[in-house]
Amino acid sequence: MNAVQSTNPVISSDRVEGTTVYNPAGDKLGSIDHLVIDKRSGQVRYAVLEFGGFLGMGTDRYPLPWSVLNYDTSREGYVVPLDKARLEGAPRYAEEERPTYDDDYGRDVYDYYGARW
């Protein structure tokens, strides 16, 4: 059953949403809040990591390229290449904001993670 699941080529959006995200050191960073999809092509542009939200303060959101999400079956969560120093400089926005999500923004985000825009 696990072998079948791990080789399943597709995943449901509602299984991605809410999945925990860890850094390579095993620290829990947050969870995937939602996906951002290109309307025309149906391509997932970003998986948005929600992070923070202490003592009633708002959360920060980090748009991640889909390709940086690596599912770790032992942790039942995604591991992303974001150590603490890298997290500080990562593109983010406050929960109540909304990025433009235009090509310039996309290139900046993808460049940060070394992903191809």
Cα–Cα dist 53/51, whole Å: 7
Closer of 84 and 114 to a copy of itself (Cβ)? 114
By C-alpha distance, which of 64, 37, 38, 39 is closest to 50? 64
Closer of 3 and 55 to a copy of itself (Cβ)? 3
In whole angstroms, the minimum distance from the beta carbon of 84 to a copy of itself comes to 26
Give the SS3 label for residue 2: helix
Closer of 42 and 56 to a copy of itself (Cβ)? 42
List residues bridging with 93 in a β-sheet.
Answer: 61
| Positions that interact with a copy of itself (CB under 8 A) | 8-14, 16-17, 33-45, 66-67, 101-102
In whole angstroms, the minimum distance from the beta carbon of 101 to a copy of itself comes to 5
Strands 77-79 vs 20-22: parallel, antiparallel or unpaired: parallel
